[in-house]
Amino acid sequence: MVLLWGSNAREAHPIYFHHVLKGLDNGTKMYAVDPRRTSSTKFADAWLGLNVGTDIALANAVGREIIAADLHNKEFIAHATQGFEQYQAAVEEYTLENTETITGVPAEAIREMAHVYAAAGTAQILWTLGITEHHNAVENVLSLCNLALLTGHVGRWGSGLVPLRGQNNVQGGGDMGSLPNKFPGFQDIGDPTAQAKFEATYGMRLPAKPGLHLTLMFEAMERGEIKGLYVIGENPADSEADVAHARKVLSGLDILVVQDILMTRTARSADVVLPAAVGWAESEGTVTSSERRVQRVRPAVSPPGLARQDTDIIGDLANRLGVDWGNPTPQELWDELRSLSPMHAGMSWERLESAGGLQWPCRDLEDPGSPFLHGWLWAEDLEGREPAPFSVCQHEGPKEKLSAEFPLRLTTGRALDSYNTGVQSGGFASPIRYGDSIDINPTDAHALGLADGQRVRVCSPRGSIETKVRIQPDIPVGLTFTTFHFPELIDVNQLTNPEWDRRSGTAEFKAAAIRIEHLHSNGAKPMTDDPALDLERTTEPANG
């Protein structure tokens, strides 16, 4: 049984979805939870179209129903978990009827999904940003983890919790310590053993206090505490929530350095641009996929013009700053990582080549790698660990409530043929491109007197943009949707809500309140939806 929750994998992770489809062909049941009737939900046995931001209520109701129907795995709960009584008490108020009112999902559909999930021999919960791009992202995730703990659908072959990663190396970035509170291999900054090990290898004192994540960096920039920013392969001038504010903050920096493969909006506003080689097609190295599989990337073409390898640029920069890091090869850098990160220790360059990829943890050269984590939950002694805790999570809903002034909900997501701010996917002429408009239900369009393709003004408490309307019966009444792939055409992040989760640092991209206005002939811009995009590869460094 597959519970697809806040994920449009058919479009955002198409090849992963092939595996899901194979399961469905073999008789697996799928329940899809999403505010939109996405192309993924159309493959499901049932689509539960919940109101945006009511995931915790729905998850708690599923949990309550499983307990009420006596379908929870009492043996597993006693063996491997803690905090069940508190959880049971906390979900008590989430009756099917109450939850139908909160979520808009019929009580019978919730009941059915709960029973099918609990009774399944194996079951997986798959999610993506529909769960994590909320101000209470971590609680959303924990409310799903509760269901796995309740039923024992975790840590076993075929069962588990599956967050699908959105970028080819976002997992690898974390693995390598590109997190403010971690060394490579998820070892804690400030942990004396780890601190001593890394300081000995790097030959210098390292800060023992965690740094700032991106959201906190923006706050520090705003306060003037950070005056310079070095951006590598990120386009925050298009991708941040409340992006007009983010652009203002970036423009107030003393210096902005951007290292990228294309002249993004962020690069265009930089003081210095360092043209870089394309990671997956012009460089040697590794990336780590959603299933913790480390795989080699290899150069197929040479970088154009003056574009250089990221490692060379960083090494030269260090040199100018007075530190000599030598000229290590990608393999030497990898071997250094293996010497410092126990979970990568068994992944020799040669094994990565011959095995076609290995999944961490892979602790020594004999270790075949780990297809799934959390098998310890089933070990007799829990491998010496503490039992897994249930979490009490309460429904809160989106930070920004709908109002008379802003009566429609806006949510964002990906389209099949596009990617993030469109920097890369804008490079090919897709015949099926969509997402440069705001999708609205026919009923709402009728009430507002809007025709398909009509240009409108969309306003949120943070700003307003001009775009066109696409009438879409798959969007429920009261909801609107657009992608974030075409900031030149629909600058949606001027509308999105920057309220962010205190634990993950992620903004509430999925839930803003908006209104749609007719354009008046006075002051309306001429109708055009085709501004030229200048995203050709940079061949020369730009200064000034």
289 binds other proteins (CB under 8 A): yes
* Per-residue tokens: 384: 């010496």
Q: How far is the CB of 537 from other proteins (least distance, A)?
A: 7
Q: How many CA atoms lie within 13 A of 459 on its CB side?
A: 12
Could you count the other beta carbons within 10 Å of the beta carbon of residue 536?
Answer: 10
12 binds other proteins (CB under 8 A): yes
By C-beta, is 45 or 222 nearer to other proteins? 45
238 binds other proteins (CB under 8 A): no
User: Which of these ranges, 47-55, 153-161, 272-280, 450-458, lies near other proteins under the rule CB under 8 A?
Assistant: 272-280
Could you count the other beta carbons within 10 Å of the beta carbon of residue 378?
Answer: 15
Could you count the other beta carbons within 10 Å of the beta carbon of residue 534?
Answer: 9
Q: Find the binder of other proteins among 304, 389, 442, 463 (CB under 8 A).
A: 304
Q: How many CA atoms lie within 13 A of 370 on its CB side?
A: 16
Rounded distance between C-alpha atoms, residue 144 and residue 438, angstroms: 30
By C-beta, is 230 or 280 nearer to other proteins? 280
By C-beta, is 43 or 94 nearer to other proteins? 43
- Give the per-residue SS3 of 73-92: CHHHHHHHEECHHHHHHHHC
Q: How far is the CB of 162 from other proteins (least distance, A)?
A: 11
Rounded distance between C-alpha atoms, residue 184 and residue 176, angstroms: 4
299 binds other proteins (CB under 8 A): yes
Q: Find the binder of other proteins among 82, 88, 122, 167 (CB under 8 A).
A: 167
Rounded distance between C-alpha atoms, residue 86 and residue 29, angstroms: 31
537 binds other proteins (CB under 8 A): yes
Q: Find the binder of other proteins among 15, 204, 321, 451 (CB under 8 A).
A: 15
User: Which of these ranges, 115-123, 276-284, 388-396, 461-469, lies near other proteins under the rule CB under 8 A?
Assistant: 276-284
300 binds other proteins (CB under 8 A): yes
By C-beta, is 65 or 260 nearer to other proteins? 260
Distance of CA 220 to the CA centre of its chain: 23
CA 53-32-378 angle, 5° bins: 95
Give the residue from 30, 195, 156, 47 showing the smallest Cα distance to 110: 47
Residues 517-536, interacting with other proteins (CB under 8 A): 530, 533, 535-536
By C-beta, is 207 or 431 nearer to other proteins? 431
Q: Which residues pair with 346 in a beta bridge?
A: none
Give the residue from 300, 307, 344 showing the smallest Cα distance to 172: 344
User: Which of these ranges, 138-146, 165-173, 194-202, 313-321, lies near other proteins under the rule CB under 8 A?
Assistant: 165-173
Q: How far is the CB of 530 from other proteins (least distance, A)?
A: 7
By C-beta, is 25 or 364 nearer to other proteins? 25
Interface pattern 409-448 for other proteins (x via CB under 8 A): -------xxxx---xxxxxxxxxxx---------------
Q: How far is the CB of 210 from other proteins (least distance, A)?
A: 25
357 binds other proteins (CB under 8 A): yes
Rounded distance between C-alpha atoms, residue 218 and residue 442, angstroms: 39
515 binds other proteins (CB under 8 A): no
**What is the DSSP code (8-state) at residue 116?**
H
CB 92 within 8 A of CB 85: no
* Per-residue tokens: 49: 């179209």
Q: How far is the CB of 389 from other proteins (least distance, A)?
A: 27
Using alpha carbons, list the distances in angstroms from residue 370 to 29, 59, 82, 182, 513.
26, 29, 25, 22, 43
Residues 170-189, interacting with other proteins (CB under 8 A): 170-171
How many residues make contact with other proteins (CB under 8 A)? 59
Rounded distance between C-alpha atoms, residue 218 and residue 225, angstroms: 10
Using alpha carbons, list the distances in angstroms from residue 444 to 35, 452, 471.
16, 12, 9
Q: How far is the CB of 509 from other proteins (least distance, A)?
A: 17
Give the residue from 421, 507, 508, 410 showing the smallest Cα distance to 459: 410
By C-beta, is 325 or 434 nearer to other proteins? 434
280 binds other proteins (CB under 8 A): yes
Q: Find the binder of other proteins among 5, 16, 47, 509 (CB under 8 A).
A: 16
Q: How far is the CB of 25 from other proteins (least distance, A)?
A: 7
| Neighbour-count burial of 523, counting CB atoms closer than 10 A to its CB (0-12 exposed, 13-18 middle, 19+ buried) | exposed
371 binds other proteins (CB under 8 A): no
Name the residues that contact other proteins, by CB under 8 A.
Answer: 12-16, 18, 21, 25, 43, 164-168, 170-171, 261-262, 278-282, 287, 289-291, 293, 295-302, 304, 356-357, 416-419, 423-433, 530, 533, 535-537
